[in-house]
Each structure stands twice: as structure tokens, then as C-alpha cells.
């Protein structure tokens, strides 16, 4: 089989078309890759713009919080300067503490400070006789002092609840 001139010409045209198609496919692939790269770059730029906007907002919020923190520090410092105890008040407080300790030792009274402010609650103890007498009543000084006197008296009211050796 011999190829004639027409066949050779057709064969060259087909090969030329094939080469052209290959080059065209390569260019299309190249353009598609560039389009993908541009899209990706565009998406990254959009994300970057969003992140920059968020960063700017957060920076503004941080500045506002820092400003408020400085104001709070200033207010706290002014309160601290107002809350100092004067020397005369410190002396009165120390004297009251000492008086309380002496009264506690002399009378044997112990208060329960968790009780409501209008109720006197606690106990009176006698170390000498190892006895306790609890109390809980509205703040009535006379009744409370009667308990203290009873603790100091030689006769303690006999009550099984108040004995430590109660079994």
C-alpha cells in the first residue's frame, strides 16, 4: 500500500491538528491553573481582609478595656486612700479587742457570730468546773449577765445537756 499525495497531505493536516489540539489543551490547562490560583489568591485576600477587620475591632476593644481598667485603678486608688483607719480609730479598735479578750477570759462567754444580729447566741463556760451553758435569745443584757453570774457562782444549774462527761 502506497500512500498517495492526498493521503500524505491529510496525514500532515491531521498531525498538525493533533499538535494544535495538544497545544490548545496545554494552554487551556495552563489558563485553568492560573484561574484556580487567582481564585485561591482572591479567597486568601478576602480572608485576610476579614481578619484585618476583626483585628482592628479587637484592637479597639482592647484599647477601650485598657482605658476602663485605668479608670477602675484610679477609682480604687481613691477609695483606698479614703479607707485608711485613723490612728485614733486604730487605738480604739485595739482597746476594744483587749477589752473583749479580758471579758472573755473573766466571764467565760463565747459568742456565735454566725447568729442573726438581733440574737445573742453562744455559750458560757466554766474552766474550773469544766461546764458549758449554751444560750440563744434576743439580745437581752440582763438575761445574758444572769447566765454569766450563774457560771461564776459556786452552784451551777444541774443540766445533763451542759455536762461534757454526758454519755
CA torsion angle 152 154 157 158 (round to 10): 130
pLDDT band at 167 (very low <50, low <70, confident <90, very high): very low
pLDDT digits (tens, 9 = 90+) for 119-160: 888 888 877 777 788 878 775 666 767 777 776 666 655 555
Same domain for 56 and 37, yes or no, is: yes
Q: Which of 34-43, 96-105, 107-116 has the highest mean pLDDT?
A: 34-43
Same domain for 59 and 108: no
Listed residues 20, 54, 84: the one ending a domain: 84
Residues of the domain holding 94: 87-162
Q: pLDDT for 28-78, tens place per residue?
A: 999 999 999 999 999 999 999 999 999 999 999 999 999 999 999 999 888
Last residue of a domain, one of 66, 84, 102: 84
Q: Do 38 and 59 belong together in one domain?
A: yes
For residue range 10-21, list pLDDT tens digits in order. 888 899 999 999
**Residue 69 falls within a domain, yes or no?**
yes
On whether residue 23 sits in a domain, the answer given is yes
Query: What pTM was estimated for this model as a whole?
Result: 0.36
pLDDT for the residue 82 = 74
What is the SS3 assignment for 152?
helix
Amino acid at each position: 500500500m502506497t500512500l498517495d499525495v492526498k493521503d500524505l497531505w491529510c496525514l500532515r493536516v491531521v498531525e498538525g491538528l493533533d499538535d494544535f489540539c495538544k497545544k490548545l489543551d496545554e494552554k487551556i490547562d495552563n489558563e485553568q491553573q492560573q484561574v484556580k490560583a487567582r481564585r485561591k489568591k482572591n479567597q486568601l485576600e478576602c480572608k485576610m481582609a476579614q481578619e484585618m477587620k476583626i483585628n482592628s475591632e479587637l484592637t479597639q476593644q482592647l484599647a477601650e478595656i485598657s482605658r476602663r481598667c485605668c479608670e477602675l485603678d484610679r477609682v480604687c486608688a481613691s477609695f483606698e486612700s479614703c479607707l485608711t483607719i485613723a490612728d485614733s480609730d486604730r487605738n480604739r479598735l485595739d482597746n476594744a479587742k483587749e477589752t473583749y479578750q479580758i471579758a472573755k477570759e473573766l466571764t467565760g462567754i463565747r459568742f456565735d457570730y454566725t447568729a442573726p444580729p438581733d440574737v445573742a447566741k453562744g455559750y458560757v463556760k466554766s474552766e474550773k468546773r469544766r461546764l458549758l451553758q449554751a444560750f440563744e435569745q434576743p439580745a437581752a443584757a440582763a438575761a445574758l449577765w444572769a447566765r454569766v453570774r450563774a457560771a461564776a457562782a459556786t452552784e451551777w444549774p444541774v443540766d445533763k445537756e451542759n455536762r461534757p462527761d454526758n454519755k
